[in-house]
Structure 1
Amino acid sequence: MEVRRKVDRILGMILSTIMAVMVVNVLWQVFTRFVVGTPSSFTDEFARYLMIWVGVLGAAYISGRRMHVAIDLLPTRLNKEGQTKLKTFVNWIIIVFCFTALVIGGLRLVYITFILGQYSPALQIPLAIVYSVIPISGMLIIYYKLSDIINKQL
């Protein structure tokens, strides 16, 4: 559980940093547009990429904190053992989905954009870097769900 707390803390700090950078970035955009009169060319794209990272990494963080949205109609009607089995089953479904869609699919997306040499228009950074958050988030969610199953934290 100590490793999980460290992962939570590091992920929380990364998300806070990304949010702070995004706020500064948007403030700079507003300043250059309304005060200087010529909007900055990179801030819109940079804010979009930061929002992608916050959204996808935030999903992993929320999954790890077990704060995600859930419909608990069925679990409330089951006894304690049934609830545990259902939650374990749901965690396994989440693991399979994250592995196939986020990890494998995300790695394929990163690989394809890297091989094709796609770059962002304004920032001129490889789009593979932007998309790399997808498999990273998938691996984090898998880690959290396996930790929940192993430690019976359902």
Structure 2
Amino acid sequence: MINSINRVLGKVIIFLSSTMFGVMVLVAVWQVVSRYLLNSPSTFSEEFLRYSLIWVTMIGGAYAFHIKKHIAIDMFVERFSTVIQNRIRQCALIFLVLFSLIVMVYGGIQIVLLTTTQQTVSLGIPMGYVYLSLPVSGVLITWFTVVELVTGSNGAINESIEEDLSIH
């Protein structure tokens, strides 16, 4: 059940991130064309690209954490015995759950609530939508971390799952 949820979450995150990145490329091309060929700079493109990059980074970062493709420095931990290594990793995971719940989810919700009345200059959308990426990625990181704590599975993709997630 948990593997199925993680598979679906992975596919959704990959789809959304890839789609958003593709749209970002098209908007960036439009920005260049409108500025240099039409001599009429696009008013929305820079702001859209900035806020889209925030979303892609936050969601993609949560997924990279899940599949263990993020930066990790294990040099210090690897000097200990396997039992101590496991305890250190469990403590790190517990700290990560607390951090993601308190800072990313709770703090993110607070900033979303504070900024829902503010609108972006060019797009005219509430800034809360931009900051919503923080609690969303916090929830994802919390889910992936709790799953790792409960199941002991580190979330790294094995080859069969990797084939399921590949875009054909």
Shorter-chain-normalised TM-score: which range? over 0.9
RMSD: 1.0
| Superposed CA offset, 1:80-130 (max 9, x none) | 22221111110111111111110011000000112xx10000000111111
Unaligned runs of 5+ in 2: 155-168
Q: Give the residue type in structure 2 aligned to 1:95.
A: V
1:70 maps to which residue?
Answer: 72
Identify which of 83, 86, 92 aligns with 2:85: 83
**Alpha-carbon distance in 2 for matches of 1:119, 1:20:** 25
1:149 aligns with 2:149: yes
**Alpha-carbon distance in 2 for matches of 1:142, 1:104:** 12
**Alpha-carbon distance in 1 for matches of 2:152, 2:88:** 12
| Superposed CA offset, 1:23-62 (max 9, x none) | 0010000011111111111101000000111111121111
The runs of at least 4 consecutive aligned structure 1 residues that moved more than 3 Å come to none
Alignment of 1:98-113 (within 5 A): 98-113=100-115
Alignment of 1:1-154 (within 5 A): 1-114=3-116, 117-154=117-154
**Alpha-carbon distance in 2 for matches of 1:55, 1:2:** 24
Number of residue pairs matched by the alignment: 152
Q: Give the residue type in structure 2 aligned to 1:150.
A: V
**Alpha-carbon distance in 2 for matches of 1:51, 1:25:** 12
Q: Give the residue type in structure 2 aligned to 1:44.
A: E
Q: TM-score, normalised by structure 2?
A: 0.87
Secondary structure of the residue aligned to 2:42 is: coil
Secondary structure of the residue aligned to 1:30 is: helix
Unaligned runs of 5+ in 1: none
Q: TM-score, normalised by structure 1?
A: 0.95
Using the TM superposition, give the Cα deviation of residue 153 of structure 1 relative to its aligned residue in structure 2, in angstroms. Answer: 1.8
Using the TM superposition, give the Cα deviation of residue 74 of structure 1 relative to its aligned residue in structure 2, in angstroms. Answer: 2.3
**Alpha-carbon distance in 2 for matches of 1:153, 1:87:** 12
Identity, % of aligned pairs?
A: 30
